[in-house]
Copies of this chain bind each other. A is one copy, B any other.
Amino acid sequence: MARQDRSARRSHSESSLEPRLSRASVGRLSLYLRRLEEFQRAGIHRISSNRLGQPLAITDTQVRKDLAFLGRLGQPGIGYDVDDLIGSIRSTLGIDRCWSAALVGVGNLARALLRYNGFIERGFRIVALFDSDLRKVGQAVDDLTIYPVSRMKEIIATTGAELGILTVPASAVQNVADELVAAGIKGLLNFAPGLIRTRPGISVVNVDLTVQLEQLAFLVHLTSTEPLS
């Protein structure tokens, strides 16, 4: 579950169905993209809304609504062109290019993220590492040197990092966010609990891993207490 610091509004001329691309829609577009790429790899060129949504438990009405927002209308009985759709989603999400990120707080989660193939496959590269622990500074993780937070401005300018990934303790998160923004970072992905206050124009996505576990507990609780038909 991600929360964002402001709603994702955009003007839209091609369709009046959905003038606002909500955070939920953006998330679904990401999921469609994964599926579509699987179909592309399997040599499938056309796909129905049903086949796209069904494994994700998303109704075809919702799929059609989300894709209509892109100006992509499937043809009845024929469906959507897989390649076209991939291109549309990537350009709408702004991921038809690479993004580079600086990561602050090099603990276990950071190491897991650095080795997470999904990021690289999707065009996200971690290009700089920072830590406030001077014992870690100077060490290398996967060919990246860990720099002290004091050199953030210089290293971010050199590497051209645009996004910041925060894997620091909750107590440090606001300070680190402020320093990243001061160094020119435009978007923050925060894994620490607690909300970040930023100025307008800076985007924040908070990742709260407990929310996911709570969703799971809710589903299991629901199944055990109110069996579904």
Residues of chain A having any CB pair with chain B under 8 Å: 1-11, 23-24, 26-27, 30-31, 33-34, 55-57, 92-95, 99, 101, 107-109, 111-113, 115-116, 118-119, 121-122, 124, 162-163, 186-189, 193, 195, 201, 203-205, 207-226, 228
Contact = CB atoms under 8 A, between A and B. Distances in A.
A107 B112 contact: yes
A214 B119 CA distance: 9
Query: How many copies make up the complex?
Result: 2
A161 B103 CA distance: 34
* Nearest 8 A/B pairs, CB to CB: A94-B221, A203-B219, A1-B27, A109-B112, A108-B112, A187-B220, A108-B111, A30-B211
15 contacts: A1-B2, A1-B30, A2-B215, A7-B57, A10-B226, A23-B215, A26-B214, A26-B215, A93-B221, A95-B221, A108-B112, A109-B112, A112-B112, A163-B217, A205-B216
A11 B222 CA distance: 10
Given A7-B57, A215-B2, A226-B11, A119 B210 contact: yes
